[in-house]
């Protein structure tokens, strides 16, 4: 015989059985107590979540796994899913941890009322992210990774002459250009932005005092060309 529990609202429950009220009517609790449409909705929701999790895990597994028949055949679809939000970056770990500070900066060319152009000073976008992260207990993914990963994406898909390596290289240009336009704005002081230019200042981290390693800590600049700003690059275009 099961254990009987009496609740303050007059219901009695016996382990392994349905709920029974003082008037003698049994009522089913839990999912079984839901109406048929509600049970169907719960089942569909659970199935949807299970499918989404399975797809995500499969895509990430194929991305990090050694090259195989499936990843070779569907490599483009896997890259489209993974980049840039879910890219795996192991630079924090050995054997090649990141030992540089990279500051991504941008400036804009404005068109004045008289048709003349004016170039703004360089604006340190990385410093903006650093200020937003400092003393922030719950920084956003955008503040931590968007700009940094965009520059890594660009640097990894361009050669020393800033020539893109295929479609991904051109995609990286569009990505970092739109980040620059988003940060600088479509106009400044009432003057529309015509073009933007991006550069990166890379400074090697000095070794600790006890190390005999010699490192050149002078900053190295990488200057990109001017990119015309298109309508699709403007922040307002994302809200249409």
pLDDT in tens, 57-107: 999 888 888 888 888 888 888 888 887 777 766 665 555 567 889 999 999
pLDDT(7) > 60:
no
- When the pLDDT of each residue in the chain is averaged and rounded to a whole number, the result is 83
Domain residue spans of the chain: 1-33, 36-82, 100-239
pLDDT(17) > 70:
no
pTM listed for this prediction: 0.61
Average pLDDT over residues 34-62: 91
For residues 99 and 129, the model is more confident at 129
Rounded distance between C-alpha atoms, residue 117 and residue 57, angstroms? 50
pLDDT(208) > 80:
yes
The closest of 203, 222, 217, 204 to 105, measured between CA atoms, is: 222
Confidence of residue 131 (pLDDT cuts 50, 70, 90): very high
Confidence of residue 123 (pLDDT cuts 50, 70, 90): very high
CB of 131 within 8 A of CB of 147?
A: no
pLDDT(200) > 50:
yes
For residues 49 and 21, the model is more confident at 49
pLDDT at 19: 52
Give residue-wise pLDDT tens across range 155-182: 999 998 999 998 899 999 999 999 999 9
pLDDT at 2: 46
Count of CB atoms situated within 10 Å of the CB of 21: 13
């Amino acid at each position: 015989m099961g254990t009987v529990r009496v609740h303050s609202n007059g219901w009695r429950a016996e382990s392994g059985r349905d709920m029974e009220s003082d008037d003698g009517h049994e009522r089913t609790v839990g999912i079984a107590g839901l109406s048929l449409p509600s049970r169907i909705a719960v089942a569909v929701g659970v199935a949807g979540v299970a499918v989404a999790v399975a797809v995500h895990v499969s895509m990430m597994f194929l991305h990090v796994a050694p090259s195989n028949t499936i990843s070779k055949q569907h490599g483009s679809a896997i890259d489209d899913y993974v980049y840039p939000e879910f890219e795996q970056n192991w630079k924090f770990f050995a054997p090649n941890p990141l030992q540089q500070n990279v500051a991504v900066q941008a400036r804009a060319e404005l068109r004045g009322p008289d048709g003349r152009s004016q170039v703004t000073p360089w604006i340190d976008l990385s410093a903006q992210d650093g200020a937003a992260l400092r003393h922030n207990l719950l920084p956003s993914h955008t503040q931590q990774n968007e700009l940094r990963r965009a520059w890594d994406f660009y640097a990894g898909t361009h050669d020393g002459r800033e020539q893109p390596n295929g479609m991904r290289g051109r995609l990286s240009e569009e990505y970092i250009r739109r980040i620059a336009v988003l940060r600088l704005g479509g106009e400044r002081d009432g003057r529309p932005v015509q073009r933007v230019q991006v550069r990166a200042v890379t400074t090697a981290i000095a070794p600790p005092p006890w190390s005999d390693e010699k490192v050149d800590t002078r900053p190295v600049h990488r200057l990109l060309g001017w990119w015309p700003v298109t309508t699709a690059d403007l922040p307002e275009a994302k809200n249409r």
